[in-house]
Chains A and B, each alone.
Chain A
Amino acid sequence: MSNTPPRHTALDPLHRSLGATMTDFAGWDMPLRYASERDEHNAVRTRAGLFDLSHMGEITVTGPQAVDLLNFALVGNIGSVGTGRARYTMICQADGGILDDLIVYRLGDQEYMVVANAGNAQVVLDALTERAAGFDAGVRDDREAYALLAVQGPESPGILKSVTDADLDGLKYYAGLPGTVAGVPALIARTGYTGEDGFELFVAPEHAEQLWRALTEAGESVGLVPCGLSCRDTLRLEAGMPLYGHELTTALTPFDAGLGRVVKFDKTTHADDFVGGEALRAAAERAEAAPPRKLVGLIAEGRRVPRAGMSVVAGGEVVGEVTSGAPSPTLGKPIAMAYVEVAHAAPGTAGVGVDIRGTHEPYEVVALPFYKRQK
């Protein structure tokens, strides 16, 4: 992408000492996997996994009109987010195209933390800064202020409980509270990108290694393993979660992506003038009346793996495009997410395939997600 040297997280020396295979991700040198990515995937599904996600971009929004700014700048109704709660939302262009998907944490009465994807953090920071004009609110780049560790998997509550006194039982999904974990101050959030129960821990970079080591020790007896971005991708794919640059782009509105529910036209403030609102109203009507394509799941009948950019075919015609694909460790078959023309998008539609290097491999159309955890 550019000639700038890769950025390293606070845990970089630790990853190398663990023998991680590293990869460039959005300008960051990140662990791709430590050993077998399939074993890491299965550990998160059945036990627990520990991730370094310090590449994610934190932006703090504060001030008397912080909530008004966020209502104006984002597509969700941030006014309905209580202190200590979080919301999945998006930031769009004026034409409704998706700039990024975000999680907004309300840290205090007048304080919010916006977490953007690493590759979009600067774009989101710039957009929020620009959109803040005229609001009594400040936008602060806090990317350097935080390291982010995630503990994900069914054993994660037990592991975390052993290193914190924070009230985890009272911490609901999409909630966050400040606390102390393994002796270091942390924002403890019950969020994740794996389809499992789990936590994301925002800490000062100088505390990251101490926290990583404490969690590793606490999780050892229940099978926690360090996990790289490779299994994070297959975990989120099985869970039907979109990835920016694949299922979400500036060429698509949230309605095109099947995520129109994140757009709120009944906001507490700025319902009528939020950025992208007018275009999104039209997109909502279009999605209702005549959606061109729909995001679906595809499950392979064979063993060849679909990849992003491959054509979905039916009756010799191209009817869609794969946005993400991988061998699914849980299903034991290759799976994909794809935008497919509505006529071929219904679950069970016959005769749909993926063009894999010239061969039309048969695929079953299914509704997303591929995997849903038992609660």
Chain B
Amino acid sequence: MSNPQQLRYSKEHEWLSATEDGVATVGITEHAANALGDVVFAQLPAVGDTVAAGEACGELESTKSVSDLYAPVSGEIVAANQDVVDDPSLVNSAPFEGGWLFKVRISDEPGDLLSADEYTAFTAG
């Protein structure tokens, strides 16, 4: 699998798009989606919620387990992907595209986000 170069990554296996007008799109990586197995339920943060970097803001449920969804940055949620709520398998089939989870207006971001190459090395370990 390859991690898109234009994205940045958290050690909790979220990806973060480049920002447009201060807003970035967030999803989980293909590595994370593969580790979870078939996602069957997604509870996403609601529009208007304030999230804090590194804190749980939702959950993804798969056949075997439930995993917290972490916010890679701090800010306000401006969109949640209703398509994923309706069809959670999008997280598995298109984790970097149609399986995006939410959009956040960034107020603060941690200094330890990874580049694609760094994240690839991180998951190879």
A-to-B contact residues, CB < 8 Å: 21, 32-33, 36-38, 230, 234, 303-305, 307, 326-327, 334, 357
Are B61 and A230 touching (Cβ within 8 A)?
no
Instruction: Show 21 A/B contacts (Cβ-Cβ < 8 Å), sorted by A.
Output: A21-B34, A21-B37, A32-B64, A33-B37, A36-B37, A36-B92, A37-B37, A37-B38, A37-B63, A230-B37, A230-B63, A303-B41, A303-B61, A304-B61, A307-B65, A326-B63, A326-B64, A327-B40, A327-B41, A334-B41, A357-B66
B-to-A contact residues, CB < 8 Å: 34, 37-38, 40-41, 43, 61, 63-66, 89, 92
Are A305 and B41 touching (Cβ within 8 A)?
yes
How distant is A306 from chain B, measured CB to nearest CB, in Å? Answer: 10
Set of chain A residues within 8 Å of B66, measured between Cβ atoms: 305, 307, 357
Set of chain B residues within 8 Å of A327, measured between Cβ atoms: 38, 40-41, 61, 63
Smallest CB gap from B64: residue in A:
A230
Set of chain B residues within 8 Å of A307, measured between Cβ atoms: 65-66
Other contacts beyond A303-B41, A305-B66: 11, CB < 8 A: A36-B38, A36-B92, A230-B37, A303-B61, A304-B43, A307-B65, A326-B63, A327-B40, A327-B61, A334-B41, A357-B66
CA distance A357 to B61 in the complex (A): 13
- 9 shortest interchain CB distances as A-B pairs: A327-B40, A303-B41, A38-B38, A305-B61, A37-B63, A36-B38, A37-B37, A37-B38, A230-B63
Set of chain B residues within 8 Å of A334, measured between Cβ atoms: 40-41
Contact partner of B40 (CB less than 8 A), chosen from A32, A230, A305, is A305
Smallest CB gap from B37: residue in A:
A37
Smallest CB gap from A356: residue in B:
B66
How distant is A305 from chain B, measured CB to nearest CB, in Å? Answer: 5
Set of chain A residues within 8 Å of B40, measured between Cβ atoms: 303, 305, 327, 334
Are A234 and B63 touching (Cβ within 8 A)?
yes
CA distance A326 to B89 in the complex (A): 16
Set of chain B residues within 8 Å of A36, measured between Cβ atoms: 37-38, 92
How distant is A34 from chain B, measured CB to nearest CB, in Å? Answer: 11
Are A38 and B63 touching (Cβ within 8 A)?
yes
Set of chain A residues within 8 Å of B34, measured between Cβ atoms: 21
How distant is B57 from chain A, measured CB to nearest CB, in Å? Answer: 14
How distant is B11 from chain A, measured CB to nearest CB, in Å? Answer: 21
Set of chain B residues within 8 Å of A303, measured between Cβ atoms: 40-41, 61
CA distance A303 to B63 in the complex (A): 12
How distant is B46 from chain A, measured CB to nearest CB, in Å? Answer: 16
CA distance A304 to B43 in the complex (A): 9
Set of chain B residues within 8 Å of A234, measured between Cβ atoms: 63
CA distance A304 to B66 in the complex (A): 9
With most chain A CB atoms within 10 A of its CB, the pick from B37, B38, B41, B43 is: B38
Smallest CB gap from A33: residue in B:
B37
Set of chain B residues within 8 Å of A38, measured between Cβ atoms: 38, 63, 89
CA distance A357 to B56 in the complex (A): 14
CA distance A326 to B64 in the complex (A): 7
Set of chain A residues within 8 Å of B41, measured between Cβ atoms: 303-305, 327, 334
CA distance A313 to B31 in the complex (A): 36
Smallest CB gap from A234: residue in B:
B63
How distant is A37 from chain B, measured CB to nearest CB, in Å? Answer: 5
CA distance A283 to B30 in the complex (A): 51
How distant is A230 from chain B, measured CB to nearest CB, in Å? Answer: 6
With most chain B CB atoms within 10 A of its CB, the pick from A230, A234, A326, A327 is: A327
Smallest CB gap from B61: residue in A:
A305
